[in-house]
A = this chain, B = another copy of it.
Amino acid sequence: MADKYTDFVSRGWGRDLAKRLGLPQPVTLRRHEPGAPLVPGPVLLVGAGPGADALETALKGWDVEVLRDLGETHDGGAAAASSGAPAARAGAGKGGARLGAIVLALDGIARPEDLSGLFLAAGRHLRSLAPSGRVVTVSRRSSTADEPAIAAARSGVEGALRSLARELRNGATGNGILLAEGVPVDAPSALGALRFLLSGRAAYVDGQFLTVGTAKGELPSDPEKPLAGKVAVVTGAARGIGAAIARTLARDGAKLVVVDVPAAGDALAKVANEVRGTALQLDITRPDAGERILEHALHRHGGLDILVHNAGITRDKLLANMDAAKWDAVVAVNLAAQLRINDALLASDKLGEGFRIVSVASTSGIAGNRGQTNYAASKAGVMGMVRSTAARLAATGGTANAVAPGFIETEMTARIPLGMREVGRRINSLQQGGQPVDVAEAIGFLASDAAGGISGNVLRVCGQYWMGQ
């Protein structure tokens, strides 16, 4: 769905007009294009120590120009790293190119006072950040620290990053990676998450953290085909976000099984043709839905590696006016069907190693939403399900995660009355709704081998939407 306002104020006299009137000025976001550079300029790496050095090595391995700032001086100067990477000056980079990203290596912080030099160093370079540039923090999870000072410093990163993300403009975003105790900075999923967050794939992910729980996972040999050889099932794939997921996973190399209700059969067949996959017409609330999905995938594609639970419905009413039919239908499709399908698949011994489940939740499930008690119950339920299923899958190297879209431009949101729709799509740090592909890209990452160390996460794809708990 096009956002005509964003197109209008992104260029020419529309931009000048919006600026003069003080209107929101969303910009067209940098999104993934095969073959395009990972970041739109050199990466400034802030921080010192083995973690920072490991990040420098990884970035250089991705053909990224790296500048260093040790983050220890407050006077506007910046020290060069021992590794020999050039020191950063404002606006620096070869030929004065703008920075593609600022990466903060914060894995070694041990007390709140350690944050100051590093964040201020990042701050000195913010004006050099390119449009759709990135700020990414790499730090450790707070909850497992047993020293209060360490826990405080680590939590502090989250507050600072979320504030910083709200200060960025021109399509730039701020996100973070939280490493569990003992997981190295260059663990496969830490680097996988870093690549994802730096890239155009994460265009609409803002103000969020990915937690890397283990050193499992594997970076793809071909970054353009991270899902090569995988068989993926996507439910609700006939249109909207589901169709975008199918296209994105296919682009990334997966063989697709697209699932939707028989009534959407024509649209589903078109998507299947487009992605060169197979279509399975199926009501996912059928008791044998899981068995039928498995049978189809095994019979037609010889395996099943990725299951994307995307199918979902809304039946909005204030609770005072809600009837059982509306409530029960939403819970049956959005949650109970996922549970039943998972049970059937996990009971089978035919799944590939490292099976991936990715469910589509919603920011409504996190924050609640007026008129959506049933929908929010189902989507919050999905998040609980994913966390519990993650624990169950851990033994076999499988993962379960969810993405929680905020305001995404789809046929569904296009039906929201104009005034509410304009509010809904502007109350986020990027001042625009996301595109279905933005949700799809996050799912593609979580479904990949690179995310093998990431499980039980709920990743918001919401442009740092205001609504929260």
B residues less than 8 Å from A385 (CB atoms) = 148-149, 151-152, 155
- Asked if A276 CB lies within 8 Å of chain B CBs, one says no
Contact yes or no, B320 A123, CB < 8 A: yes
Most buried by B among A147, A153, A373: A373
**Known contacts A162-B469, A163-B376; is A368 also within 8 Å of B119 by CB?**
no
Asked if residues A331 and B112 are in contact (CB atoms below 8 Å), the reply is: yes
Residue A322 CB within 8 A of the other chain: yes
> What sequence of 0s and 1s flags, for each residue 363-381 of chain A, a beta carbon within 8 Å of any chain B beta carbon?
0111111111111111111
Task: Looking at the assembled complex, report how far the CB atom of A312 sits from the nearest CB atom of chain B, in whole angstroms.
Answer: 13
Contact of A142 among B119, B166, B371, B387 (CB under 8 A): B387
Q: Which residue of B lies closest to A153 (CB)?
A: B381
Q: A211 on the interface (CB 8 Å rule)?
A: no
- A71, chain B: closest CB distance, angstroms: 12
Known: A319-B119, A324-B120, A384-B152. A146 touches B391 (CB 8 A): yes
How many copies of this chain does the complex contain? 2
A380 to B322, Cβ gap below 8 A?
Answer: no
- If A167-B371, A368-B207, A391-B146 touch, whether A159 touches B112 (CB-CB below 8 Å) is no
Q: Say whether A342 faces chain B, with CB atoms less than 8 Å apart.
A: yes
Would B163 and A372 count as touching, CB distance under 8 A? yes
**Is A160's beta carbon under 8 Å from chain B?**
yes
A113 interface hit (Cβ, 8 Å) = yes
CA distance A150 to B427 in the complex (A): 34
Q: Closest CB of chain B to A357's CB: distance in Å?
A: 10
Question: Contact at A376–B162, with CB atoms within 8 Å?
Answer: yes
A163 partner residues in chain B, CB cutoff 8 A: 319, 364, 368-373, 375-377
In angstroms, Cα B164 to Cα A374, docked, is 10
Task: Kindly list chain B residues whose C-beta atoms are within 8 Å of the C-beta of A154.
Answer: 384
Given contacts A148-B342, A320-B127, A388-B152, contact A373 B336 (CB under 8 A): no
Residue of B nearest to A209 (CB): B469
- Taken together as a complex, chains A and B put the C-alpha atoms of A376 and B158 apart, in Å, by 8
A164-200, CB < 8 A from B? 164-167
- Pick the residue among B126, B167, B331 that contacts A116 (CB under 8 A): B331
A166 to B112, CA, bound (A): 36
B373 touches A339 (CB 8 A): no
* Residue A383, interface by CB 8 Å: yes
Confirm or deny: A318 has a beta carbon within 8 angstroms of a beta carbon on chain B: yes
Q: Is A81 an interface residue (CB 8 A)?
A: no
Please tell me if the beta carbons of B152 and A368 are within 8 angstroms of each other in the complex: no
Contact (Cβ within 8 A) A466 B468: yes
Question: Are A374 and B335 in contact, CB atoms less than 8 angstroms apart?
Answer: no
Q: A223 contacts the other chain (Cβ, under 8 Å)?
A: no
Closest 3 CB pairs of A and B: A468-B468, A162-B368, A155-B384
A residues apposed to B, CB below 8 Å: 74, 111-113, 115-117, 119-120, 122-124, 126-127, 142-143, 145-167, 207-208, 318-324, 327-328, 331-332, 335-336, 339, 342-343, 364-385, 387-389, 391-392, 427, 460, 464, 466-469
